[in-house]
Amino acid sequence: MQIYLPIAELPVNIFLILFMGIAVGFISGMFGIGGGFLMTPLLIFVGIAPAVAVATVASHIAASSFSGVTSYWRRRALDLALAMMLLAGGILGTLAGVWLFSVLRRIGQLDLTIALSYVVLLGAVGGLMITESARAIFRARSGRPAVVRRPGSHIWIHGLPFKLRFKQSRIYVSVIPVWAIGFFIGFVGAIMGIGGGFLLVPALIYLMRVPTNVVVGTSMVLTLVTMASATVMHAVSNHQVDAVLALILMVGGVIGAQFGARAGQRIRAEQLRLLLGILVMMVGLRFAYNIVVQPDDLFSVRVIGEL
């Protein structure tokens, strides 16, 4: 069944989009991530303009993360104070990202920037996750106990001033790295059309020493607010949010996420991280292939003004 998308200005198969929503939702529920890094490329692949894809996926991620936040909130498994501090940076980062998005769109370098960001970030994060989880699996196989990082171990970040105590996370850290992380996640999220959960979760665990039981819920609060505000900002500055497309994606996404979450509970944590690492790496490599191999068509056209 075809449905005409009012902003993307082309008809799409409603079941294809719904299926994409369910599939990405399944993965996002399984790994506790938003899934934007999969959804945005998929939408571009089916012919939706990158600008519309990025802006629309923001609202889709907002929906799936709200559903996640409510369930973590019921279990009190999130640190609201830490989330608010991350948000202070996140909102500024989103504003900067949406601004840069408009500029890049105007000068014709948006597609390349999106592709390069995917290659660098996904390649790096995917690579780290694969090596880290492979080591953990290898250790478990050989029967040696895992090397536990003691919560008290300090790195240079803990020497920074303006320290705050976050009770829920039981950490005492400077707000500067918290703001910086929030800013970075908001910034790349707005440009790449991703929530940034797959970046934020490792950053909070390894840099901030946030306990793993509150980290996913806290990350989802940040994702929810940055993506909801990115939706509004993209709507104001680029007019590229397609509400019809967003609704189909959301409905598919929240259904898929529920089944994904159940499937995820049956897999061991380090195996789950390895799978996610491979997935992230593959998406990054796909983008690398696109910009390194000579394209079929060297030319492209973009409408910059209507009369």
Partner 1 sequence: MIRALAVGLAFAMGLAAWPAGAQRLVTSLSTHRVQITANFTGAELVLFGSVERDAATVARPGSYDIVITVSGPRQTVVTFRKARVLGIWMNTDSRTFINAPSYLAVLANRPIAAIADADTLRRLQTGLEQTLLPQEVGGDIADVVPGDPFRQAFLRLKVERGLYREQVNAVTFLTPALFRTAIPLPDNVPTGAYEVDIKLFADGAMLARQTTALEIVKAGFEQFVADAARDYGFAYGLAAAMMAILTGWLASVAFRKD
Contact residues for partner 1 (CB under 8 A)?
2-4, 6-7, 9-11, 59-60, 62-71, 74, 108-109, 112, 116, 227-229, 231-237, 239, 241, 243-244, 246-247, 250-251, 254-255, 257-258, 291-295, 297-307
Q: Residue 78 Cβ, how far from partner 1 at the closest point, in Å?
A: 14
Contact by Cβ (8 Å): 230, 246: no
- Residue with smaller CB distance to partner 1, 43 or 136: 43
Strand-pairing partners, residue 218, are none
Q: Residue 170 Cβ, how far from partner 1 at the closest point, in Å?
A: 26
Contact by Cβ (8 Å): 25, 249: no
Q: Which of 226, 279, 241 is nearest to 92 (CA)?
A: 226
Contact by Cβ (8 Å): 241, 56: yes
- Residue with smaller CB distance to partner 1, 142 or 300: 300
Q: Residue 4 Cβ, how far from partner 1 at the closest point, in Å?
A: 5
Q: Residue 81 Cβ, how far from partner 1 at the closest point, in Å?
A: 22
- Residue with smaller CB distance to partner 1, 11 or 170: 11
What whole-number distance in Å separates Cα of residue 175 and Cα of residue 169? Answer: 14
Strand-pairing partners, residue 164, are 173
- Residue with smaller CB distance to partner 1, 66 or 179: 66
Q: Which helix (H) or strand (E) holds 3?
A: strand 2-5
- Residue with smaller CB distance to partner 1, 26 or 179: 26
- Residue with smaller CB distance to partner 1, 181 or 191: 191
Q: Residue 7 Cβ, how far from partner 1 at the closest point, in Å?
A: 6
Contact by Cβ (8 Å): 194, 39: no
| Other Cβ atoms closer than 10 A to 262 | 12
Q: Is 30 helix (H, G, I), strand (E, B) or coil?
A: helix
Q: Residue 250 Cβ, how far from partner 1 at the closest point, in Å?
A: 4
**DSSP symbol at 298:** S
Contact by Cβ (8 Å): 94, 188: no
Copy the structure tokens of residue 39.
Answer: 């959804």
